[in-house]
A = this chain, B = another copy of it.
Amino acid sequence: MTERTDSPMVPEQRPGDGHEATMLLERARAAVDPVLRAALGSLPAPMRRIALYHFGWENADGTPAQGGAGKAIRPALVLAAASAVGGPTARAAAVRAAAAVELVHNFTLLHDDVMDRDTTRRHRPTAWTVFGDADAILAGDALQALALRLLAEDPRPVARAASVRLADCVIELCAGQHADTDMERRAPGEVTLAETLAMAEAKTGALLGCACAIGALYAGAGDADVAALDAFGREAGLAFQLIDDVIGIWGDPRRTGKPAGADLAARKKSLPVVAALTSGTPAAAELAAAYATPHRKDDLEDLEHIALTVERAGGRDWAQTQAADRMARAMQEVARAVPDPEAAGGLLALAEFVTRRST
């Protein structure tokens, strides 16, 4: 399962729709980028070069690039959670931690792209295709170290608890990526929907939950509120992944930065596909048969046929209903930790932004 949500494009502003989220993302980038640039600048030259390329700040030859470093959803969640619980002071205190979360995210992208042999990321060739597997692995290793170093350098006592959470999250992300590659190796009939959801939670939900939890920690939240904001991020993350998988099948590649139908071509067991495969419908059997035959390059009819079969088996509807359901649960969690709707507004706007972009 690959994530298509790090498009470098500036999110479109639609009237009364996503404007607050756009502003929060831009403010998060503005706050976190200087910390990220300083951290990357401290790396030894070869690691720095790969990292700056991966972040979209340099071209492969080391010249400055115009691209962006993704939409900064995770740092924005750290800052929004800190702000929701503790206001502007907490938000300011959490900037370094927000950068650490973004470094962890990017470390996992570097490694996942190597493992998944993905060749495109944020509309550019992935780091391993440019610098080779070894250097992409090493740059990822260095980014993980840099993330935990940023937190270790933070003199605030809360940085310790944040470090433990972030390290735990890395371990969960690893387990999620393992489950993903393991499931991809198995036959379509051997994969359950429950384990696909668990994998998506570990692979995508965990870091969004961790981002919110760390923001809450920096605002001095108690255990129950930290847990509620973690759950909020996890639910929103699952909604995010569900929608991302829907886009991966039926979305517009100009918006996703990935070729249309790439997941289907690779016979990936994404959430809508597994929902369809396990639906018990006649279309499910048809889909299983289609997935048993490898895709022939540029056979667009094959991709259209499979997309339609997933839809006929209910995979698209299921994913969109699930996403809406996850979003509703996310709202409940946030209301538990931040009862004041105005204070919670930023978190809700970000969660809605992430899911609304699909429709």
Residues of A within 8 A of B (CB): 43-44, 46-47, 107-108, 111, 114-115, 133-135, 137-142, 144-146, 148-149, 151-153, 155, 159-160, 163-164, 167-168, 170-172, 174-175, 177-179, 181-182
For this complex, 17 residue pairs linking A to B, each with C-beta atoms less than 8 Å apart, are A44-B178, A46-B178, A46-B182, A47-B175, A111-B137, A114-B137, A134-B178, A142-B170, A142-B174, A142-B175, A145-B170, A148-B163, A149-B164, A149-B171, A152-B163, A152-B167, A153-B164
For the complex formed, measure the closest distance between the CB of A74 and the CB atoms of chain B, giving whole angstroms.
17
Is A134's CB under 8 angstroms from B47's CB? no
State how many copies of this chain the complex holds: 2
What is the CA–CA distance of A133 and B128 in the complex, to the nearest angstrom? Answer: 14
Could you tell me if B133 and A148 are in contact, using CB atoms closer than 8 angstroms? no
Q: How far is the CB of A179 from chain B (nearest CB, A)?
A: 8
Q: How far is the CB of A103 from chain B (nearest CB, A)?
A: 11
Q: Are A137 and B149 in contact (CB under 8 A)?
A: no
A148 x B146 contact (CB < 8 A): no
Most B CB contacts (10 A, CB to CB) among A155, A170, A182 go to: A170
Q: Contact between A160 and B152 (Cβ–Cβ < 8 Å)?
A: yes
**Beyond A145-B171, A148-B167, 4 extra complex contacts between A and B, CB < 8 Å:** A134-B181, A137-B137, A142-B171, A160-B160
Contact call B141/A111, Cβ cutoff below 8 A: yes
Which chain B positions have C-beta within 8 A of A107? Answer: 141
Chain B residue nearest to A107 (CB atoms) is B141
Q: What B residues does A46 contact at CB under 8 A? A: 175, 178-179, 182
Docked Cα-Cα span, A142 to B167, in Å, equals 8
Which residue of chain B has the shortest Cβ distance to A104 in the bound complex? B145
Instruction: For A145, list chain B residues within 8 Å (CB).
Output: 144, 148, 167-168, 170-171, 174
- Chain B residues contacting A146 (CB-CB under 8 Å) are 167, 171
Which residues of the partner chain B approach A153 to less than 8 Å between Cβ atoms?
A: 160, 164
Which 10 A-B residue pairs are closest in the complex by CB-CB distance?
A149-B167, A152-B163, A145-B170, A44-B175, A115-B134, A148-B148, A145-B167, A138-B174, A142-B174, A152-B164
Contact B44 A172 (CB under 8 A): yes
- A46 to chain B: closest residue by CB: B178
User: In whole angstroms, how far apart are the Cα atoms of A182 and B171 in the complex?
Assistant: 30
- Give the interface centre of A133, A144, A178 by most chain B CB atoms within 10 Å: A178
Is A174 a contact partner of B115 (Cβ separation < 8 A)? Answer: no
Given contacts A44-B172, A160-B152, contact A177 B138 (CB under 8 A): yes
- Chain B residues lying within 8 Å of A114, measured Cβ to Cβ, are 137
B163 touches A149 (CB 8 A): yes
Closest to A153 in B: B164
- A164 CA to B152 CA, complexed, in Å: 6
Out of B141, B160, B178, name the residue touching A135 (CB < 8 Å).
B178
